[in-house]
Amino acid sequence: MATRERVRLPPSVFRLPVEKIREGYYSDAYFNLTKQLLEADNHHPRVLMQVFQRKDSILGGVDEAIAVLKTGVGHYEGDVWVPTFDQLEVKALHEGDEIEPWETVMTIEGDYAEFAHLETVYLGVMARRTLIMRNVREVVSAANGKPILYFPARHDHWLVQTGDGWSAHIGGSIGVSTDAQASWWGGRGIGTVPHALIAAYNGDTALAARKFADRFGRDMNVTVLVDFKNDSVTTALEVADALGEDLWGVRLDTSNTLADESLRRLHGDTAPKGVAAELVELTRSELDKHGFKDVRIVVSGGFNAERIRAFEAASIPVDSYGVGSSLIRGSNDFTADVVLNEGKPAAKVGREYRPNERLELVK
């Protein structure tokens, strides 16, 4: 059976600062000095560079790394840039491929003087995107197929949103919160009725939700935060009654420093804090009891893979998880080594050439 060629994202998608990359503006200085020395010495070794990382992970950023090479490989002759990517042989895995520790994910073979200055940039791209992809895939797996909403935009610099959103998409997230995060696949950001809008309507969640649904209900599934007064069950019922069939879901987002009033009425000062399992169960029970069985429950606030697994193991009636800062935490660093020089072993001890039959030639 013939297999369909896997298409890579073209360099134009990434809107790279090409001139700055060529100049080495984003590169560690010693790589720029290496390129300058090789060119000045007229030394042009044909090397094979090998890229790997050290975890069981999901490969991200490889198409962007290839775009960096396609647009940044070459040299200046006077003020004129001479591109030479076509003189290299690049092989790589694909976005979203599962990878093992020490597995070679990309090789670059050619005149080292032409691409020495790019190592910082392409490694950093893969490190960031792979981290996001691995983290998202972990929570998607923990959620047993329930939608994951990707909500870390406010926890990091806005410039990382586009690539992070793409990584979250490939990792399995069903929704992102900004248009920038959805831009590489032509999607749109999604969201809920926020606390600030509720405050703008004097804390009347049902009124703010009604206004929101009237304006945007035809364009999106209306989901409403119901913890503004820290009485989520009562507010959820008010919102469901006010919106009727226009309400898709309610979102529980109680601070982990507070116990929701609905639980305090049951347990007093011993009530569990934050979005406790019991709060979800009580909200579901009361919605069902009042005829709102179709209203979904979204939970957010401190959720990570471990906590999601615990909720799923206990069959807590959650329909979707909103996950934020935990998805951008951690590390997934990549390393690049020259392992062959003119076809002969040239690696530092412990970093020998490790061929990988899974690599595909980049055209």
> Of all residues in the chain, what percent carry a pLDDT higher than 70?
99
| The two three-digit tokens of residue 234, written as one number | 């009562």
Residue 220 has pLDDT above 70, yes or no: yes
**pTM greater than 0.85:** yes
Q: What is the tens place of the pLDDT at every residue in 65-97?
A: 999 999 999 999 999 999 999 999 999 999 999
In tens, the pLDDT along 131-149 reads 999 999 999 999 998 999 9
CA 119 → CA 48, 115, 126, distances in Å? 13, 8, 11
pLDDT band at 113 (very low <50, low <70, confident <90, very high): very high
How many Cα atoms sit within 13 Å of 185 on the Cβ side? Answer: 19
Q: How far is CA 340 from CA 46, 116, 348, 349, in A?
A: 8, 14, 10, 13
Q: DSSP 3-state assignment of 155?
A: helix
> ∠56-181-208 over CA atoms, to 5°?
125
pLDDT over 90 (residue 259): yes
Predicted confidence at residue 326, as pLDDT, reads 93
Q: In the predicted model, is pLDDT for residue 5 greater than 80?
A: no
Average pLDDT, the chain: 95
| Helix/strand/coil for 176 | strand
Q: Is 241 helix (H, G, I), strand (E, B) or coil?
A: helix
With CA atoms as reference, report the closest residue to 32 among 140, 119, 150: 119
179-197 in b/e form (b: 16+ CB < 10 A) is ebbbbbeeeebbbbbeeeb
Give me the pLDDT at residue 2, please: 47
Mean pLDDT over residues 58-64, rounded? 98
Q: Which of 150-159, 225-234, 267-276 has the lowest mean pLDDT?
A: 150-159
Task: Please report the pLDDT score of residue 3 as a whole number.
Answer: 47
pLDDT tens digits, 11-20? 999 999 999 9
Helices 277-289 and 232-243: angle between axes, nearest 10 degrees: 40
Q: How confident is the model at residue 52 (pLDDT cuts 50, 70, 90)?
A: very high
Residue 47 banded pLDDT, cuts 50, 70, 90: very high
| Mean pLDDT for the stretch of residues 277-296 | 98
Q: What is the pLDDT of residue 173?
A: 85
Average pLDDT value for residue range 323-348: 96
Lowest mean pLDDT among 134-138, 218-222, 247-251, 262-266: 218-222
190 versus 282: which is more confidently predicted? 282
Strand 320-323 and strand 148-150: the pairing is parallel
Orientation angle between helical segments 62-72 and 119-142, nearest 10 degrees: 160
Do residues 53 and 101 lie in contact, with contact meaning Cβ atoms separated by under 8 Å? yes
Question: At 45, phi and psi to the nearest 5?
Answer: -70, 135
Strands 106-111 and 74-77: unpaired
Check residue 4 and give its pLDDT.
55
Report which of 225, 229, 228 is spatially closest to residue 297, judged by C-alpha positions: 225
The pLDDT assigned to 188 comes to: 87
**Is residue 1 over pLDDT 60?**
no
Give the pLDDT confidence of 166-196 residue by residue, as tens digits: 999 999 888 898 999 999 888 988 888 999 9
Q: What is the pLDDT of residue 191?
A: 82
- Would the pLDDT of 63 be above 90? yes
